[in-house]
Structure 1
Amino acid sequence: MIGTIAFAVSGVIAAKEKEMDLFGAIVLGCTTAVGGGMVRDLILGKTPPLMFTQPVYTEVAFGTSILSFYLEKKHGKISAENLTTLLYIADSVGLGIFAVVGSLAAFDAGYEKNLFLCTFVGTLTGIGGGLLRDMLSAELPLIMRKRVYGLAAVFGALTFSLLMEWHYEEDVAMFSGCCATALIRFLAIYYHWNLPSFKDK
């Protein structure tokens, strides 16, 4: 649930940057919060996806999006730089949680012996919502341009999957995977780490 809230907030922040209306903020908030999980369920053959069979996550994302929109309109006088920082923080928290939850879903679906699939599904769950958010807001997806976004999700999902394979307690594996993802993201943001790109000289 924490990840759902964090991702919904990041979607609303992205909507503010694009000066969208309430509907746009709700669309981006909900898409960011539940989009990755929807893709995960489709890959694992769970239809209809969890967002429809257990709509509490969608409802929380919907409510969070509306609340965030009006709080920002009433009290938010945040500079562009601080807004970007808030987006990164909310995104990092959500990314860590969803990368682990996605891998756990693959384990629960009976793919515990397929390390690649568990890591892939976890990574896609983590980055899927943000990817859809950026596409809807006409931005080059964050995972393709800066702050080792996708790599952090891979590392977190892989950490969780390996610890589960090595028979660590589920709670320990989940906490470690979340922390691994968030730590890499926070360090990348603070130290301005980026992967090599065509923009580099």
Structure 2
Amino acid sequence: MELHWSILFAMETIGTIAFASSGAMVAIEKNLDLLGVIVLGVTTAVGGGMLRDIIIGNIPPNLFVNPVYVFMALATVIILFLIIRFHRHFLFGRSRITYEKIMNIFDAVGLGAFTVVGIDTAVSSGYGEYHFLAAFLGVMTGVGGGILRDIMADQTPYILKKHVYASASIAGAVAYILLAGQISSDSAMIICSVLVVAIRLLATKYRWNLPTALGNIEKGDIVRDHESSL
């Protein structure tokens, strides 16, 4: 394909760093040991691609055949672990705020890149005409690692409750499906990735969230209401 792969590789690298960092930070905050931090960090970075490859029968998954992103994630996790180990104040104050702002931008770029990579994998594997599958693989590549991270960390997957995360990936994938037959696939994927990044950044800035059935009610309020009705 004619897509500028050097740019896409740069986006994937940024995303790998962001995803690995998010997984490692979850593990650090749960006070897991070094192995636990590595497992959560690396899984977050490459887990989505692994699930994608398993779905389409690409065995063994690409992370084992071409482990460049695994090594990137591993290096990121170890560096972050050492920083927190010897500079615990990094978890608090302005340092943490600055870190989260930078990682949010990286995360948005990574989500857009991985969504595009998932779609491109579907197309290059001969499934381009199966639009639902292509979109699903794009979304799974983008958010699958985060789902695995949260399951292993015993918490509700972040993508199901905060800042239009998976929805941004879905919107980009749908945009690709709508545009693929009208413009070149390269152009469609570029628009797809830009749309994902834009939605993610705007959702974070303006705190966009999808509505819930109970509105802003807290879990504790539900428990108290239930107990009072007994």
Structure 1 counterpart of 2:226: none
Q: Kindly provide the amino acid, as one letter, of the partner of residue 183 in structure 1.
A: A
In 2, distance between residues paired with 1:153 and 1:94? Answer: 11
Structure 1 counterpart of 2:208: 193
1:137 aligns with 2:161: no
Aligned to 1:28, which of 40, 47, 58?
40
In 1, distance between residues paired with 2:58 and 2:174? Answer: 22
Contact 1:10 1:90 in 2 (8 A): no
SS at the partner of 1:77? helix
Identity across matched positions, percent: 44
**Which shifted more, 17-26 or 160-169?**
160-169
Pair 91,23 (structure 1): closer, same or farther in 2 beyond 3 Å: same
Contact 1:9 1:90 in 2 (8 A): no
String of CA shifts for 1:18-66, please: whole Å, max 9, x gaps: 2322212111111001100011001111011111111222122112211
Q: Kindly provide the amino acid, as one letter, of the partner of residue 91 in structure 1.
A: D
String of CA shifts for 1:172-194, please: whole Å, max 9, x gaps: 33332222112111111111111
Aligned to 1:107, which of 102, 123, 128?
123
Structure 1 counterpart of 2:78: 66
Within 5 Å, which residues of 2 pair with 1:1-201? 1-2=12-13, 3-75=15-87, 77-79=90-92, 82=97, 85=101, 88-168=104-184, 170=186, 172-200=187-215
Q: Which runs of 5+ in 2 are unaligned?
A: 1-11, 217-230
Pair 137,85 (structure 1): closer, same or farther in 2 beyond 3 Å: farther
RMSD: 2.1
**Which shifted more, 118-127 or 66-75?**
66-75
Q: Give the Å deviation of 1:8.
A: 1.0
String of CA shifts for 1:146-199, please: whole Å, max 9, x gaps: 1111110111222334444333262x3333222211211111111111111133
Q: Kindly provide the amino acid, as one letter, of the partner of residue 135 in structure 2.
A: T
Q: Kindly provide the amino acid, as one letter, of the partner of residue 137 in structure 2.
A: V
String of CA shifts for 1:87-125, please: whole Å, max 9, x gaps: 544432321111111011001011111211111110111
Q: Give the Å deviation of 1:9.
A: 1.6
In 2, distance between residues paired with 1:49 and 1:199? Answer: 40
